[in-house]
């Protein structure tokens, strides 16, 4: 299983630039199967053994939403 991420892109900066001239911003956030699945070994706040430990958005999404 491979998971490709383009680390050369600054996605937060791209989102901020796109939102700069916008009249309305629609934010679609959440998680995918990479974070939540049976017995996943994810070590992030809010996840334990593939289960959610709270309903809050992941910290990176909360930070982006506040900035927008």
pLDDT averaged per 10 residues, the chain (length 68): 71 92 91 71 75 83 92
Q: Can you read off the two tokens belonging to residue 43?
A: 């070590």
CA distance 50 to 42: 7
CA distance 25 to 22: 7
What's the pLDDT at 16? 94
Whether 39 and 49 have beta carbons less than 8 Å apart is answered as yes
What's the pLDDT at 19? 94
What's the pLDDT at 39? 65
Q: Can you read off the two tokens belonging to residue 61?
A: 């999404």
What's the pLDDT at 29? 86
What's the pLDDT at 26? 94
């Amino acid at each position: 299983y491979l998971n490709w991420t383009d680390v050369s892109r600054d996605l937060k900066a791209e989102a901020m630039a796109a939102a700069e001239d916008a009249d309305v911003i629609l934010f679609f956030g959440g998680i995918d199967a990479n974070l939540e699945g049976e017995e996943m070994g994810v070590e992030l706040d809010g996840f334990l053994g593939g289960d959610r430990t709270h309903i809050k958005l992941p910290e990176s999404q909360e930070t982006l939403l506040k900035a927008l």
